[in-house]
Structure 1
Amino acid sequence: MNGEAGYLTTLARVLWPGGGVVGRGRGESGGARLPGPDGREVREYLPVPSARRPRVILPVANRYAAARGVAAFAQRHSFRQRLRATLLTTAFASGAAPLLLRDRLRVAAGPAIEYALAAALDREVVIAIHLGPPRANRKPVLLLLTPGGRTIGFAKVGVNELTSRLVAAETAALRRLADARLRDITVPRLVYAGEWNGRPLLVQEALPVGHQTDRPTRRQLLRCVTQIAALEPIRENRLSTSRYLDELRRRVAALAGRPEAPPLRAVLDELPDLLLPFGAWHGDLTRWNVASTPRRAFVWDWERLAFDVPVGMDALHYELTECVRTGVQAGVHRWLDSGSRLLRDPLLHAAGLRPDSVSTVMALYLVDLATRYLQDRQAEAGGRLAAVGEWALPALAGLRERAAHEARHAT
């Protein structure tokens, strides 16, 4: 059994405490329940594209829900991935998918998260599950559907210490955002918060994201960034006396024993002591967590929401994740220029970000992100940007020099 198949059986024990087994099948059951080896009934799910590389898990017994699950989880993907999703959707809608996809996740009858969700929402629930690629913060995102395939909402459940902490954090963030006045941003409403199998569980409404929305333009992105920053009044403060720097130093110090910790600490020690605007940030603003119409942004996945952070870091995070999609080293090199241009935009200048502090904020962002990845042990999970020593430290060396130059030549 490879690591991914092992992950599926671990996940099955969380979502279906009776457990599950990964196996092969040709769909002879037609989606009906099959007798288990001990006489109990089992339900079948399809790991797609395979048990060795599961990205979504779809119910065999409900082709309408399976087809909707494929379409919903492909919204923010590339054209090639969306084309593949269209073919899969057609295969599920026609009933052919179980004949074409051989791998199965067979789940024993008994306590099931579907029953807990149905009780919490007072309606019958069918689920499709998005997993995404392996990473430390990988957790199941459950698309909640009616038996006819209509979307009810999304649920998240923690599967380990890190993901449980993130689900709890997002629950708290959604409660806080419920009373926020974001002029051009819609945030999902928290529908239910509780526990399942001893782990935090949240349910949130589905946002109207689909063919009528798209990735934000530069102006839409920056408008979104500045409105999130202003969730609480933006305050100016010297970097040296900011709570943000104290907390970032504490996090870097907690990396004691890691070879990356001393150079990260050295960067913080040598950055110029500038006056910076501090506000809120989403913390993971990427193309997978935001969609826009010409007048409105829809933003989800608020598990990293934080306050008293240098304004502009959300823009840098979005830009970095875009730049590295085709390669890390070349992407980071492009980001050093494109990120600087973003921070010099008039919208961020109006929020208090001065040209002489651009490279300082970029350096702080990279230290913050590198520290997060090291704390979460992303390298062990194989994330794209996990090897921070190979890309973040060289970039920080250049940014440190740029920050000193900008501070000396400030007018």
Structure 2
Amino acid sequence: MNGETTYLTDLAEVLWPCGGLLGRGGECTGPHETRVPDPRGASVREYLPVPSAHNPRVILPAANRYAAVRGISAFAQRHSFKERFRAALLSTAFASGVAPLLLRDRLRVGSGPTIEQALSEALDREIVIAIHVGPPRANRKPVLLLLTPGGRTIGYAKVGVNPLTSRLVSAETSALRRLADSRLRDITVPRLLHSGDWNGRPLLVQEALPVGDQTDRPTRRQLLRCVTQISGLEPIRERRISASAYRSVLAGRITALGNRAEAPALRATLARLPDVRVPFGAWHGDLTRWNIASTPRRAFVWDWERLTMDVPVGFDALHYELNESVQVGVHPGVHRWLDSGSRLLRDPLMSGVGLRPDSVSTVMALYLIDLATRYLQDRQAEAGGRLAAVDDWLLPALAGLEERAAHEARHSC
């Protein structure tokens, strides 16, 4: 077994306390589950790790083609053309019934209590699930697409699988409760349908937002409009960095890194940044193409697990732009972001919420310090996160921004 197959069997113990075993294909006996011989005489459900048990990205019910097709298409949204093309081929294979013959790996789950039963009871309807696993990273957790047996989407569920992901699931539950009372003029947020625990771990269920072929990635103006409205979840206040609670909290987070080799550089840069005036508000914390979809008049935003108050306005715009830029590669992408991120923060929409030209590079530097601290706290590098090697790209970019920030502050006087 490699690391991924171990993760798969560990995940099975969380979702199905009876556990799961990896094997090869079995025989179907019913419309919603596959039954194969079990040494104890019990029936066994089968799921398909796709594309394989050694590289699982989604886990689909072997016998319910409707749920499998819907799961593939739902989890392929906002992805690259190549990934969407691969998803289209898989959907065709499932719709025609040949996918179980082509995909031979199986995750077999024995009889006993299941996450499907718990969700069915919580929502008072029969539930079938498709599971998004995603690539290895520290905050990797299962996202369950909840479907009727006929393949109609009901919502999404998240379950914590370790201390970090359990904390994030609990944080998103709190965020969704808070957002239910907010008035975001042009943004739709998923409703919280259920919260509780499963197998000793936090569980949340939220509605599925109406995204699909009629939505797209946001334009620059749509993105910034979304960023400013999220910032306004609490009153935006302008203050000097030295007088902000944010700076004290960030310094404390860096101290908590202990003897990590990158911590001294982050601490020193934070201390040397100009003490400019900056507007503070809320930020989503992970606004990327995978967590937002837009129409000309409305944005749909999900994954609120990192919602944070009282941070420099503009972080969400910088985070979105950085993740877009590095699609072409980390180093060329970061070089591009240093210019494109600056242009975003100088947009009139950002000026309208109080972001001054003399603070743009300082805000960008604060964002990188915050991001580096998050990655180091979460141990993203050890988990294989794409941007997690902060000493390779982030610290050099931060050094350049420190110089730019000092230059902007000097020339604003």
1:12 aligns with 2:9: no
* Unmatched 5+ stretches in structure 2: none
Tell me the distance in 1 between the aligned counterparts of 2:378 and 2:29.
42
Structure 2 counterpart of 1:213: 215
Please, which of 209, 234, 237 is the counterpart of residue 235 of structure 1? 237
Tell me the distance in 1 between the aligned counterparts of 2:106 and 2:4.
13
Please, which of 274, 282, 290 is the counterpart of residue 292 of structure 2? 290
Structure 1 counterpart of 2:386: 384
CA apart distance, 1:395: 0.4
CA apart distance, 1:28: 6.6
Tell me the distance in 2 between the aligned counterparts of 1:28 and 1:156.
28
Give the SS at the match of 2:170: helix
Give the SS at the match of 2:161: coil
Tell me the distance in 1 between the aligned counterparts of 2:27 and 2:255.
54
CA apart distance, 1:61: 1.9
Structure 1 counterpart of 2:270: 268
CA apart distance, 1:117: 0.2
| Matched residue type, 2:20 | G
Structure 1 counterpart of 2:25: 25
Structure 2 counterpart of 1:202: 204
State the percentage of identical aligned residues. Answer: 78
Please, which of 64, 67, 88 is the counterpart of residue 66 of structure 2? 64
1:164-212 Cα offsets, whole Å, 9 max, x none, are 0000000000000001000000000000000000000000000000000
CA apart distance, 1:27: 5.4
CA apart distance, 1:393: 0.5
241-250 or 17-26: bigger deviation: 17-26
Give the SS at the match of 2:54: coil
Structure 2 counterpart of 1:2: 2
Give the SS at the match of 1:35: coil
CA apart distance, 1:32: 2.6
Normalised TM-score (structure 2): 0.98
Tell me the distance in 2 between the aligned counterparts of 1:392 and 1:32.
48
Structure 2 counterpart of 1:52: 54
Structure 2 counterpart of 1:358: 360
* CA RMSD in angstroms, aligned pairs only: 1.0
Please, which of 296, 299, 302 is the counterpart of residue 300 of structure 1? 302
Structure 1 counterpart of 2:159: 157
Tell me the distance in 2 between the aligned counterparts of 1:116 and 1:363.
45
CA apart distance, 1:24: 1.8
Tell me the distance in 2 between the aligned counterparts of 1:234 and 1:355.
17
The answer to whether the 8 Å contact 1:27/1:98 transfers is no
Structure 1 counterpart of 2:329: 327
Structure 2 counterpart of 1:249: 251
Structure 2 counterpart of 1:138: 140
Question: Which aligned segments of 4 or more residues in structure 1 are displaced greater than 6 angstroms?
Answer: none
Query: Where do 1:330-409 residues align within 5 Å?
Result: 330-409=332-411
Tell me the distance in 1 between the aligned counterparts of 2:27 and 2:293.
37
* Unmatched 5+ stretches in structure 1: none
Tell me the distance in 2 between the aligned counterparts of 1:8 and 1:36.
20
Structure 1 counterpart of 2:98: 96
Normalised TM-score (structure 1): 0.99
CA apart distance, 1:37: 2.7
326-335 or 362-371: bigger deviation: 326-335
Give the SS at the match of 2:44: strand
Give the SS at the match of 1:143: strand
Give the SS at the match of 1:106: strand
The alignment of Structure 1 onto Structure 2 pairs a total of residues equal to 411
User: Relative to structure 1, is the Cα distance of residues 366 and 27 closer, same or farther in structure 2, using a 3 angstrom cutoff?
Assistant: farther
The answer to whether the 8 Å contact 1:26/1:100 transfers is no
172-181 or 74-83: bigger deviation: 74-83
1:239-271 Cα offsets, whole Å, 9 max, x none, are 001000000000000011100000000010000
The answer to whether the 8 Å contact 2:28/2:35 transfers is no
CA apart distance, 1:94: 1.1
Give the SS at the match of 1:53: coil
Give the SS at the match of 2:109: strand
CA apart distance, 1:26: 6.2
| Matched residue type, 1:206 | A
Give the SS at the match of 1:232: coil
Tell me the distance in 1 between the aligned counterparts of 2:74 and 2:248.
41
Tell me the distance in 1 between the aligned counterparts of 2:73 and 2:227.
28
CA apart distance, 1:29: 6.2
| Matched residue type, 1:15 | L
1:97-139 Cα offsets, whole Å, 9 max, x none, are 0001011111111110000000000000000000110000000
